[in-house]
Amino acid sequence: MKEKVESIKKELEKDLENVNSLQEVQNLKVKYLGKKGLVTELTSNMKDLSIEERKEVGKLSNDTKNYVTEELTKLETKLNEEELEKKLNSEKIDISLPSTKVAVGSSNILEKLIEEVEELAISMGYDVVEGPEVEKDLYNFELLNLPKGHPARDAQDTFYTDGDTWLLRSQTSPVQIRTMLNNTEKTPIRIICPGKTYRRDDDDATHSHQFTQIEGLLVDKDISLANLKATFDVIAKKLFGEDRETRFRPSFYPFTEPSVEMDISCFNCGGKGCNICKGTGWITVGGAGIVHHNVLDNCGYDSEKWTGFAFGFGAERLAMLKYGITDIRTFYTNDLRVKETFDRKDAD
Amino acid sequence: MAISMNWVKEYVDLNDVDLKELATKITNAGVNVEHISSNDLNNLVVGYVISCEDIPDTHLHDCLVDVGTDKRKIVCGANNVRKGIKVIVSLPGAVLPGGVVIKASTIRGYESNGMICALSELGLEENTPENHAKGIYELPDDAKIGEDVVKYMSLDDTIYELDLNPNRNIDCTNHIGFAYEVASVLGRKVTLPDLSTSPIKDSVKKHFSLSIDTPNCTMYNAKMVTGVEIKESPDFIKHRLIAAGMRPINNVVDISNYVMLEFGQPLHFFDKDKLGDKIKVRMAKENEKIVTLDKKERTLTSDDIVITDGEKPVCIAGVMGGENTEVDENTKDILIESAIFNSYNVRYTSLRLDLRSEASLRYERGLNYEYTTMAIERACHLLEKYANGKVLSDTIVVDNIEKKKKVAKVTLDEVNKTLGLEMTLKDVEKSLNNLGFPYKEKNQEFTVEIPNRRLDVEPHRQDLIEEIGRLYGYDKIKSVLPTIPDRAGKYVGAVKYRKLISNRLKSLGLNECRTYTLVSDEENEMFKYNRKEQIDLLRPMSSDKKTIRQTLIPSLLKVYDYNKSRNVKDVMIYEIANTYGNKTEEDTKVAILMKGNYLTNSWSSTNTKVDFYLLKGILENLLDYLGLKNRYHLQEAKLDGMHPGISAEITLDKEPIGFLGRVHPNISKDDIYVLEISMNKLVEKKIKPIKFKEISKYPSIVKDLAFIVKKDVTSEKLVETIKHTGGRLLTNIDVFDVYMGENVKDDEKSIAYSLTFSDPERTLSDEEVMKIFDKIIEEVSKKHNAVLRDK
C-alpha cells in the first residue's frame, strides 16, 4: 500500500513538471482524483479489508488525496495568475499620450491679487465694501477735501457723465465717504474697498483709462502713523515676502494730513539698487495718511474726537511688481494662455 | 520745475554743503528732487565764425571758425549760422548729453572738425521742435574766442529737477520759496534779495489812474520806469534763466521772467506810450476781441478778466498781454503790473484759450501777496541796474486782500499721538525754528503763526503736525499695530454674492475675465435686452470708449476673438461687472461665453462640445446652487443678436432676469453660446435654510416609455402632464432619448422617458405602479396628441 502511495506521488511529481495549461491540470485531476483515478483506486478493495486495515488504508488514501489536491490547486493558482497577467499585459496602454483636459476655471490675475489682500484685511477685522462706479462729484471730490477748481483735480482728469455732478469715479475713496456717511451711529470703521476707477489716460504699457484701486480706511480713537506703518508692514510682507522692509516718505493727498508714500525695500535686489527700484533700493507701492479733519467732519465724524488712517494701492501696480508683468494691458486682454502660469497656488 | 542751485546760493549759505546729500535730505522731507544734473560738459569753447558758405543743394554751411587755438573747418546745418557771430563750438572728444561723441569727420565731402551747438543739443534747453527751430545759440560779441564755454556761461551749476506734489508747486516753483525749504532742512536762514531803488521825484500817480471794476482782482500794484535801454541781459540773468529752462531774450523781458522765477510772482510790462494814462481792470464783455502778443485774435467771454486802457482790452489778465501795448525795441517807458487775479478765472481762461504758461499756472495755484509787493520793487531794482531805467516814486496800489494771520495751536501730545513718535519739546521747537514758523510755547502747547509764503499750510494742528513730522523724519516712525478691539471682517453686500457666483462659475470650468466698462456705440447697440437710457461720457477720448456699457457680451466676444486669433480654440469665459443706465442706475451683470470643447482630449474622442444644453446646465447648476431650484424657467424668445431657434429668456419667479443661447450667425459664424443675467435680481431673492431630507430606504421601480408627438410639442409640456398625473409617487423623470428620422414622420419626433417611482415609507407593488403608468400614457396621449411608441 505504502509503495503504491509512493509511486503515485512520484508519478504526480513527473506529471506536474510537464503541465503547461489549465486544461492539463484538469486532465490530471481526472487522472488522480476522478472516479477511476489513481488515488480513488487506492480504496477500491476496502470492502475486503479488516476494520483495522480499513482505518489505516482510509487515512493513507485520504492524506494522499489531500496531498494531490493541494499540489494541483497550487499549480492551478499559479497558472491562473500567469494567464491573468498575460491578459493584463495585453491591455497595456501608452501612459505618455496626452491627458483629457478637464473643465476647470481660473481667476483673473488681478482678481487673484485683490483676493489675497482682501483675505488678509478680513483677518485683520476689515470689512470688504464696494461702491458705485458712476458716482457723484460730491463724493468723489468735494467731501474728500477737493473743492471745485482744486489744482489736485488736474492730476485726476475725470470722465464726467452729467454736467459737473456725475462722473465715473477717479478713485475708490468715495466708498470711504459713503461708509462714513451711512454709518449713522458713528461707530469705529475698518473697511477696504477694492474697485474699478477711471481717468482720462491714453492706454499704453503703463497707463490705462480703467484701473483698479484697493483702499483701506480705519476710523477710531487715537490712531497714529505708527499704526498705519504696522498695518502696511503686514500687507507688504504678505504680498512681497517676509523679509521686506518698509518706509514712509512725506507726500500730499488732499484727503489725508500728514500724507505719506509707502515704500518697500526692493524685492529684486534686497535694497542694493537695481533696474526695478531704479537704483534706490526702494519701490513705492502706495499712498496713505492720517484722515484729513475736513473729511471726518464732512462725514459727521467729529475730528476732535475721531482719528483714522487711510491707505491706497493700485492693484495693477501691485500685480505688475509681484508677478513681473510689464504691460498693464495684460490684465484686460484676457489671454487664456496666461492661465497655464497663473492657475496654481503661489509659493509660500 | 528746474532749480538752479547757483541761484539758490544767493539766498541760503550752501558753501559747505554737498548738493547730492542735500537733495536726498530734501526728498526725505517731502519735496522730491527727481534728478540732479550738473554740467560736466567738456571741450566746449567760444568760436568765431570767420566765413560761412552755403554747400550747394543742401541746407548745410561750410564754416571757418576761430576757436582760439586754431582756425578750423566746421559744417553746420543751422539756418542762423553766419559770418561774424560768436558761437558755442564742441570740439572733437566732447560728449554731449545722450552720449553723442563729437568726432572729426567729413560731411558730403566737406571737412568738419567739431560742431556748432544749439542750447538744446547741450541739454540746456528742452529738445522741442520750437527750440530746435531757433537754431544755434549766438554768444554776445564780448565773449572771448577760445574760452571755456562752461566757465564763460557759468554753466558749472547744479540743477535740481523737482517732481512736486500739488501742495508744494505753489512755493517750490520759485527760487526763494525753494531756498526756504533748503533752509528748513539745513536749519539755516534765508536772505532776501536787494529791493532798493533810487526813485526820481516824479510820481507814477501823475501819469496813471487805476480802477478795479471786478472782485476777481484782489490786488493790483503798478509802478513806472522811464528811459529804459533795451539790450542784452547781464550774464548771471541769462545763465540762470537758461538753467531754469527759459531762453534769454532781452534785458527787459528777462527781468520780468527772472523776478517770476525768483518770487513766483508773474509780472506784466506795458509800453507806457502805447497804453495811455489809464488802467481799468474789469471782466471782458461777451465776444470782446483782443490781439495777443502771439499776434492771434482772441474772442473773450464774460468769465475772462481783462486789463483795459479805460476802453479797449490791453491784456488778458494772468494769461497773455495784448499786442497793442507790447514792449518792443523802441520802448522807453514801462508800466509794471504786479497783481493777484482770481485763480479760477485765470484757469478757466487759459484752458479755454489753450494758453497755459509759466505765468498762468502760477496765478492758478495762488500767490503770496507779500511777494506781489516785493516782486515789483525787485523788478524796478533790476531795471534801474541793468536797463538804466529811472524809477518813478510811489506805487499805484489797489489792495483788497484780507490779511488775516494764520495761527494754529498744537500740543506736544497731539504731535506724538498723531505721528506715533516720542518727540520732545526740544525736537518740536527745532522743527518749527527750522521751518521759520514763529511760535510761542506754554505748557507744552505751541501757538504757531504760519507765514504767508506757505499758502498750502492751513491753520490747523494736523497741518502743523505734518510740517513738524516731515522735518523730524518719518524714518523714525516705528510700526505699532493699533490697540483696537478684535473683530471679524467680512464681505459686505453685493460683493459677497459676486464672490459666491464667481467661485461657482470657476468650479464649473469657466475662466474669469476683466474687460473695459467704456465701449463704442456699436458695441452697446448689440444684444439689446431690457435696455435703459444709455450713459454717454461728456468728453469721450475716442469713439471706442464713449459710452458706459449695458451688456458685457460684446466685451466677451472681443476676448473670444483675441484668443481665437491666437489659436486658443476652447474658450470658456465669464465676467461679472457693473453696468449703468438711466443716468445712475447700477445693474451688476453675470455674462458667460462658451465655445468649443468643454472637455477635450486631443487624440481620442472623449470630447464634450459646448451646445445650448451644456450652457443650460451651467445656468441650472448656478441657480440651484444659489438655492433657487424650481423657481426659474426658460421660455422660447426672439432676442436681439441671438439665433432665433436656439435661444431662450430666463425668468425667475416669473420675472425676466436675462437670456441665453447661441449668438446669431450674422454676428459670428462660429457656434458661440452666451448667457447674461442680472445679478441684482438674484440677490434680492429670499431662500430657505438647508434642511436634511431623508432618502427613501425602500426600493424604487423604474419604467421607460416613449411618445411620438408633433415637433412643436416641447418636452416641458409632456413632463408637466406626466408629473401631474404621476403624483407623489413619481419621484424622478429623465429624458433618455430624443429621435427624429426614419420611422418617424417629418413633422414628428420621438421622446423617451425613464420614470422612477418610490415611496419613502414602503415598498411599492408592481400593480399600483402599473396603474399610474397606464394613466400617464392615457393622459399624455389625450392631451398632446401623442402616440406611445412600441418598445
Contact A128 B419 (CB under 8 A): no
- Count of C-beta atoms within a 10 Å radius of residue B382: 27
Could you tell me if A263 and A297 lie in one domain? yes
DSSP B584-615: TEEEEEEEEEEESEEEB-SSSS--EE--HHHH
Question: Which of chain A's residues have a Cβ under 8 Å away from the Cβ of B536?
Answer: 161
Could you tell me if A314 and A225 lie in one domain? yes
DSSP-derived 3-state class of residue B10: coil
- What CATH number is given for B701-788 in this structure? 3.30.70.380
Residues B124-155: tens digit of each pLDDT: 666 677 777 888 999 888 889 999 888 787 67
Contact B495 A130 (CB under 8 A): yes
- N- to C-terminal Cα distance for chain B? 91
Question: Which of chain B's residues have a Cβ under 8 Å away from the Cβ of A257?
Answer: 460, 462-463, 465-466
What pLDDT was estimated at residue B270?
A: 95
A277 pLDDT more than 90: no
Question: Which of chain A's residues have a Cβ under 8 Å away from the Cβ of B480?
Answer: 224, 226-227, 229-230
Could you tell me if A74 and A159 lie in one domain? no
Name the residue among B302, B103, B338, B305 with its Cα closest to residue B222. Answer: B338
The runs of H, that is alpha helices, within B366-406 are: 369-386
Could you tell me if A206 and A313 lie in one domain? yes
Nearest CB to B514 within list A111, A121, A246: A111
* Overall average pLDDT of the B436-457 stretch: 96
What pLDDT was estimated at residue A147?
A: 87
Respond yes or no on whether the N-terminal peptide bond of residue A258 is cis (omega within 30° of 0).
yes
Question: Which of chain B's residues have a Cβ under 8 Å away from the Cβ of A122?
Answer: 488-491
Kindly identify which residue of chain B lies nearest to residue A247, measuring between CA atoms.
B475
B93 pLDDT more than 90: no
Instruction: Give the CATH number of domain B406-472; options: 3.40.50.920, 3.10.129.10, 3.30.56.10, 3.40.190.10.
Output: 3.30.56.10
Name the residue among B337, B359, B339 with its Cα closest to residue B349. Answer: B359
Question: Which of chain B's residues have a Cβ under 8 Å away from the Cβ of A111?
Answer: 502, 512, 514
* Overall average pLDDT of the B723-737 stretch: 93
B44-152 placed in CATH 3.40.50.300: no
Nearest CB to B490 within list A122, A198, A336: A122
Q: At A22, is the pLDDT very low, low, confident or very high (cuts 50, 70, 90)? A: confident
Contact residues for B691 (Cβ-Cβ < 8 A; gap 6+) = none
Amino acid letter for position A112: K
Q: How far is CA A266 from CA A236, A244, A271, A275, in A?
A: 11, 8, 5, 10
B494-683 placed in CATH 3.40.50.2300: no
Could you tell me if A235 and A152 lie in one domain? yes
Question: Which of chain B's residues have a Cβ under 8 Å away from the Cβ of A174?
Answer: none
Inter-chain Cβ pairs, chain A and chain B, closer than 8 A: 254
Residue to test with chain A: of B410, B480, B496, B606, most A Cβ within 10 A = B480
Q: What is the pTM of this model?
A: 0.83
Contact residues for B91 (Cβ-Cβ < 8 A; gap 6+) = B43, B44, B45, B67, B102, B113, B114
Residue to test with chain B: of A93, A225, A261, most B Cβ within 10 A = A225
A151 pLDDT more than 70: no
**Degrees, nearest 5: CA angle B254-B283-B313:** 50
The tally of domains found in chain A comes to 2
Mean pLDDT of all residues belonging to chain B: 92
Nearest CB to B511 within list A152, A292, A336: A336
Could you tell me if A150 and A280 lie in one domain? yes
* Overall average pLDDT of the B439-461 stretch: 96
How much is the CA Rg of chain A, to the nearest whole Å?
A: 42
Which structural domain, as residue segments, surrounds residue A51?
A: 2-90
Is residue A20 one of the residues assigned to a domain? Answer: yes
Nearest CB to A125 within list B486, B545, B586: B486
Question: Which of chain A's residues have a Cβ under 8 Å away from the Cβ of B577?
Answer: 196
d(CA B152, CA B174): 25
Beta bridge mates, A259: A251, A289
Across B434-584, the runs of DSSP E, i.e. the strands, are: 439-442, 445-450, 511-512, 518-519, 547-548, 571-581
Could you tell me if A62 and A168 lie in one domain? no
**Complex ipTM:** 0.86
Residue to test with chain A: of B36, B462, B594, most A Cβ within 10 A = B462
Domain boundaries, chain B: 2-39+158-186, 44-152, 200-399, 406-472, 494-683, 701-788
Kindly identify which residue of chain B lies nearest to residue A134, measuring between CA atoms.
B584
Q: Which three three-digit cell numbers place residue A335? A: 489671454
Is residue A96 one of the residues assigned to a domain? Answer: no
Residues B543-584: tens digit of each pLDDT: 999 999 999 999 999 999 999 999 999 999 999 999 999 999
Residues B237-266: tens digit of each pLDDT: 988 998 888 888 899 999 999 999 999 999
Residues B110-119: tens digit of each pLDDT: 999 999 998 8
CB-based contact B555:B515 (threshold 8 Å): yes
Contact residues for B492 (Cβ-Cβ < 8 A; gap 6+) = A127, A128, A129
Contact A248 B474 (CB under 8 A): yes
What pLDDT was estimated at residue B94?
A: 85
Contact A111 B480 (CB under 8 A): no
Question: Which of chain B's residues have a Cβ under 8 Å away from the Cβ of A214?
Answer: none
CATH of residue A262 = 3.30.930.10
d(CA B643, CA B667): 10
d(CA B107, CA A332): 50
Residues B58-70: tens digit of each pLDDT: 989 999 999 999 9
d(CA B648, CA B618): 14
B200-399 placed in CATH 3.50.40.10: yes
* Overall average pLDDT of the A235-244 stretch: 92
Please state which CATH class domain B2-39+158-186 belongs to. alpha beta
Residues B45-91: tens digit of each pLDDT: 999 999 999 998 898 999 999 999 999 999 998 989 999 999 999 99
- The yes-or-no answer to whether B2-39+158-186 and B494-683 have a common fold is no
DSSP-derived 3-state class of residue B12: coil
d(CA A110, CA A316): 7
